[in-house]
Amino acid sequence: MTDLDTLVHAAAASFAEAPNPAELENAKARFLGKSGRVTELLKGLAQLPPEEKKARGAEINRAKQQVEAALQARRDALAAQELDAQLRAEALDVTLPGRHRGTGGLHPVSRTMERIEAIFGSMGFDVADGPEIETDWMSFTALNNPENHPARSMQDTFYVDLKDAEGRWLNLRPHTSPMQVRYARSHAARHAEALAQGRPIPEIRVIAPGRTYRVDSDATHSPMFHQCEGLWIGEHIAFKDLKAVFSDFLRQFFETDALDVRFRPSYFPFTEPSAEIDIAFASGPNKGRWLEVAGSGQVHPNVVRNFGLDPERYIGFAFGMGPDRLTMLRYGVDDLRLFFESDLRFLTQFR
């Protein structure tokens, strides 16, 4: 091997070792730069006798070309490597499923609320909405449930040490029943006008769905749950009307006539008489089992008085049902907590 072969090999080796273009340029300088080894050889020609110069010069030039070829080969290889890496990094996997916006859907309890509103709407009921932070007076006192009365524990709520601007105690409403009073009183001016003209008041026929709160938590109770209040007040609204309206509602809601409805005597401070409403299906997983779905009764005269109306003249019924329970029964869900955990695997089944 001649000294020039060795030089070419050394150059090729150090080019091959350069991991990137910057280091390759440094390696190039060591061989082809101003004081690079090839350049030095060329400069050395000057010292040679003229007869040797030509042959030696040609040899060095051939070696130089080989070094340059090795350099170009390494440059090409590094560029190809870089392009490769970039392509790999930016690669598109066209077999991946497309990214799209998922289609949303109503929460199962919202579906139930909409069904309830539609069915009662078809029976001429208005829909009202009210505050979840309620005054003690609305939650209890106005509903014939005096301060410190033990019956308050039936709707035990989260009592907070908080009063509103007018000094009234506040709580998270334990039921939607305050909406009976709020709705009736919000029409007080209309009622007064009718009475002043010697007409009966326009009937009060309303449902009030919404969130309610109690100190309860297990598979069938959640500290936050839903209720839907109903109220129908007029001059001749009787308990039989409650039975007819609510039974009809249940048959429409569950889309079946194969349903027994039972009005079981009960107690609520704000109704007299009072009844718990139970249903039993003629088929399905709950076949023949009585299931409680609502509380109800004829509105107590003291409550009618708090509506701003004369209980000697106005009478009617109220009910409070549990849309969560109705949803569980309609879809066969056995744990109430599933509704409030926001697990999409559960919720998307109702889409």
Q: Applying CB under 6 A, which residues contact ligand PHE? A: 155, 175, 177, 268, 271, 274, 295-297, 318-320
Which CB atom, from 271 or from 327, has the smaller least distance to ligand PHE? Answer: 271
Which CB atom, from 41 or from 299, has the smaller least distance to ligand PHE? Answer: 299
Which CB atom, from 125 or from 319, has the smaller least distance to ligand PHE? Answer: 319
SS3 341: coil
Closest separation between CB of residue 306 and ligand PHE, Å?
14
Closest separation between CB of residue 140 and ligand PHE, Å?
11
Amino acid at 78: L
Which CB atom, from 36 or from 322, has the smaller least distance to ligand PHE? Answer: 322
* Long-range contact set of residues 11-18: C-beta below 8 Å, sequence gap at least 24: 11/37, 11/38, 11/66, 11/67, 11/70, 11/71, 12/67, 12/70, 15/70, 15/71, 15/73, 15/74, 16/74, 18/74, 18/78
User: In 3D, which of 338, 320, 339, 335 has the Cα closest to residue 109?
Assistant: 339
Q: What whole-number distance in Å separates Cα of residue 100 and Cα of residue 80?
A: 36
| Bridge-based pairing state of the strands 291-299 and 315-321 | antiparallel
The three-state (H, E, C) secondary structure of 115-180, written as one string: HHHHHHHHCCCEECCCCCEEEHHHHCHHHCCCCCCHHHHHHCCCEEEEECCCCCEEEECCCCCHHH
Closest separation between CB of residue 135 and ligand PHE, Å?
16
Q: Closest residue (Cβ) to ligand PHE?
A: 320
Which CB atom, from 108 or from 178, has the smaller least distance to ligand PHE? Answer: 178
Output the CA torsion sign for 252, 255, 258, 263.
negative
Instruction: For tokens 């061989």, name the residue.
Output: 31
Closest separation between CB of residue 178 and ligand PHE, Å?
9
Which CB atom, from 228 or from 328, has the smaller least distance to ligand PHE? Answer: 228
Closest separation between CB of residue 215 and ligand PHE, Å?
14
Beta bridge partners of residue 210, listed in sequence order: 227
Closest separation between CB of residue 126 and ligand PHE, Å?
16
Beta bridge partners of residue 260, listed in sequence order: 280
**Torsion angle of C-alpha atoms 256, 257, 260, 263, degrees rounded to 10:** 100
Beta bridge partners of residue 126, listed in sequence order: 206
Which CB atom, from 18 or from 184, has the smaller least distance to ligand PHE? Answer: 184
Closest separation between CB of residue 271 and ligand PHE, Å?
5
Which CB atom, from 299 or from 329, has the smaller least distance to ligand PHE? Answer: 299
Closest separation between CB of residue 226 and ligand PHE, Å?
11
Which CB atom, from 78 or from 109, has the smaller least distance to ligand PHE? Answer: 109
β strands within the chain, DSSP E: 126-127, 133-135, 159-163, 169-172, 204-213, 224-234, 259-268, 271-281, 291-299, 315-321
> Which tokens sit at 112?
């139930």
Closest separation between CB of residue 196 and ligand PHE, Å?
30
